[in-house]
Amino acid sequence: MDIVIVGILLGGAYALMAMGLQLQYGVAKIMNLANGEMLVAGSFAAFWFFTSAQVSPLLAILVVAPMAFIFNWLVYKIFMRYLVKKARSEGQLEVNSILSTFGQSFILVGLMLALFGGEYFSYSYLEKPYTLFGQPYELNRVVAFLFAIFFCCVLYFWLNRTRLGLTLRAVSVNPEASGLVGIDVPNISALAFGLGGAVTAVGGSLLSMFLTFDASVGVIFTMKALVIVIMGGVRDIRGTILVAFILGLTETAVASLIDPGLTLAAAYLLFILILLFRPEGIFGKRST
């Protein structure tokens, strides 16, 4: 029971993080391997606001989100757009965007190391027990979970109910046809890329409320987000959310039942099983 609840609480933030990557990969068609660094940057921002100005991480989000949006939007406009234009094939774009975002991730790590140093960081915010089903849990986990779920829902309804959201989904399904019906695909892609970065950074701010982090931990989160997005079926948000919870549960179970050092190994074993048996993802449609 304990494992289930802790796992679900963790899964909320994972869902948010993975949705950010999904927007970037699904709509803008860029597999952003600097996604984890964006998350860590969100964590550092929340940490900085809290320790230097006593600003609650939940309020910090109001600054983190627009900053991350602008940063990622610029990254798309400056670095990624050029690659999209230059690419002669999908494969070439894939390789180039992988290499470019790897480069960006290392540069972000380098910058964060220079700014904050290489130690581990954490802060205590809302570190009170909160009783759920007769068991005490840390309040910060519960609050972070509720916020994550709130943002997921907002994003989900925005994508499904608003005009702009539907435009994004159209580009995700078929960029060429979207271009033909008058959608400004480059700008929508930049928007999705920026939005994805913002969502991930918010996920990072929420995670920082209860996890310890350091400048170079981003790659671990990138891997988790990638595993979630691919397992969930690249275009399906519901799949992503579900898999995020599965991953949260699996990690918590492995960490408490076997060994905390094996969490990533657990994620990868899940990933391998999916690759072997359902490469299109749990909810992905089997294509050609």
Interface contacts to other proteins, rule CB under 8 A: 31, 79, 82-83, 91-92, 94-96, 98-100, 102-111, 113-114, 118, 216, 219-220, 223, 226-227, 230, 258-259, 261-262, 264-265, 267-269, 271-272, 275-276, 279, 285, 288
Rounded to whole angstroms, how far apart are CA atoms 243 and 273? 13
Rounded to whole angstroms, how far apart are CA atoms 235 and 251? 24
Least distance (Å) from other proteins to the CB of residue 118? 8
β-bridge partners, 213: 121
If the CB atoms of residues 163 and 285 are measured against other proteins, the closer one turns out to be 285
> What torsion do the CA atoms of 104, 121, 21, 3 make, to the nearest 10 degrees?
150
If the CB atoms of residues 83 and 191 are measured against other proteins, the closer one turns out to be 83
Least distance (Å) from other proteins to the CB of residue 63? 25
Sequence-ordered list of residues with C-beta below 8 angstroms from that of 114, at least 6 positions apart, any chain: none
Nearest to 30 by CA among 86, 95, 97: 97
Least distance (Å) from other proteins to the CB of residue 178? 16
Structure tokens at 97: 């965007």
- State how beta strands 129-132 and 135-138 pair: antiparallel
Structure tokens at 104: 């960006």
If the CB atoms of residues 182 and 261 are measured against other proteins, the closer one turns out to be 261
If the CB atoms of residues 100 and 167 are measured against other proteins, the closer one turns out to be 100
Going through the chain in order, the beta strands assigned E by DSSP cover 129-132, 135-138
If the CB atoms of residues 111 and 132 are measured against other proteins, the closer one turns out to be 111
Least distance (Å) from other proteins to the CB of residue 262? 5
Least distance (Å) from other proteins to the CB of residue 219? 8
Rounded to whole angstroms, how far apart are CA atoms 213 and 44? 9
Rounded to whole angstroms, how far apart are CA atoms 108 and 25? 20
Least distance (Å) from other proteins to the CB of residue 154? 28
If the CB atoms of residues 61 and 108 are measured against other proteins, the closer one turns out to be 108
